[in-house]
Structure 1
């Protein structure tokens, strides 16, 4: 794998497809496959083999012509490209229904993420343990985050509290935020934010279903 220092030459579309490749490769490995062609990978993802080869070539030379990609090797390489070998520590803020579900997400560990801290304001939840992690008071966020060297904060609180929580996470030194609150939070340019608004996805699905119904 080559070291590409000019990250600007890699398109966002290519970067967004890498997690899809990684997930599909892992599933293929679980099926007992050892080698996969760009044609088979493309068939599983609905992406052309040419696009897959072009995407992967942006980061180095993988696979063998006429043979395909060795799945185990490609999983390791794509994982490194995605930075999944960094053992990122994560914290979930808000242990409601969504936060509880996120805390129990079984793939965190297998992807290289370690759930390290949980926070809430509810006295009935503070002190509880989820998957061996104790729920701390939100008032202790900065102290706990610093002690645990947490890199990523997940916001799973109601909209009206999201910006306040984001400010606390930034003050605690997080490098990335996964925001599930249905609002755009303001953070410094040095902090990367990924927004997950469930209502947007459902509304988009509704749009297409409504028009499909009209056509029928």
Structure 2
């Protein structure tokens, strides 16, 4: 592999893998770079460039082996194993994540859940007992959680991320609407639903402005 791979490339690899899994279930044996490019909005050349970072996968005249490329991308993305997740914040977003079966199907297993609400602590949600934050470090050490998920109010998100880092997780996914910086080298990725909706709002408004100017 040559150099550091950009986040945009990694995201496209995930999209390629999603399509490849669909093709695999449909019984397809080979796929072309142009077919892989369609769902990601990339070009054939971009697909070939993305994959070339990790080796040579295509067969001249036939394209890529669907089964072979699925296994290769799973290995590249670290999905040939199961990742254990610790969730902090069992509100609406946290509860939705606990109840989402698609995580386990993709190799992400929520093994611990935490909250500060006394009414929730000690109860069970989707088969998982909710623990108090005072047990964060000991429970993560016991269950071996490697990824932390922050689904808390904005005002405590940074504090929770720092606590997860101290507890030993290697990466953090943040659902609080605030951009968090990595903590002592632990990468943090933020999912901001409002930010994404504002982006869509701009695109729709821009389309309306272009239509208006063309009238």
TM-score (structure 2 length as normaliser) = 0.90
Question: CA 1:209–1:100 in structure 2 vs 1: closer, same or farther (change >3 Å)?
Answer: same
Distance 1:163 1:67 in 2: 50
Distance 2:126 2:9 in 1: 35
Higher mean displacement: 25-34 or 147-156: 25-34
Distance 1:73 1:133 in 2: 36
Are 2:110 and 1:115 equivalent residues in the alignment? Answer: yes
Deviation at 1:130, TM superposition (A): 3.0
Which residue number in structure 1 is paired with residue 10 of structure 2? 15
Deviation at 1:155, TM superposition (A): 0.4
Q: CA RMSD in A?
A: 1.7
Contact 2:83/2:147 (CA < 8 Å) preserved in 1? Answer: yes
* Structure 1 spans left out of the alignment, 5+ residues: none
Which of 136, 143, 154 matches 1:148? 143
Contact 2:12/2:40 (CA < 8 Å) preserved in 1? Answer: no
Distance 1:187 1:44 in 2: 30
- Secondary structure at the aligned position of 2:80 is classed as helix
- CA-to-aligned-CA distance 1:122-155 (integer Å, 9 cap, x gap): 2222223333321111221111111111110000
Contact 2:181/2:188 (CA < 8 Å) preserved in 1? Answer: no
Are 2:133 and 1:125 equivalent residues in the alignment? Answer: no
Are 2:173 and 1:178 equivalent residues in the alignment? Answer: yes
Which of 75, 78, 84 matches 2:79? 84
Deviation at 1:174, TM superposition (A): 0.9
Structure 1 runs of 4+ with >6 Å offset? none
Which of 64, 70, 73 matches 1:75? 70
- CA-to-aligned-CA distance 1:76-100 (integer Å, 9 cap, x gap): 1101101112421101111111001
Deviation at 1:186, TM superposition (A): 4.1
Distance 1:190 1:197 in 2: 22
Contact 2:15/2:39 (CA < 8 Å) preserved in 1? Answer: no
Are 2:27 and 1:32 equivalent residues in the alignment? Answer: yes
Which of 150, 155, 158 matches 1:160? 155
Distance 1:170 1:40 in 2: 40
* Structure 2 spans left out of the alignment, 5+ residues: none
Which residue number in structure 1 is paired with residue 92 of structure 2? 97
TM-score (structure 1 length as normaliser) = 0.90
Question: CA 1:88–1:57 in structure 2 vs 1: closer, same or farther (change >3 Å)?
Answer: same
Question: CA 1:51–1:93 in structure 2 vs 1: closer, same or farther (change >3 Å)?
Answer: same
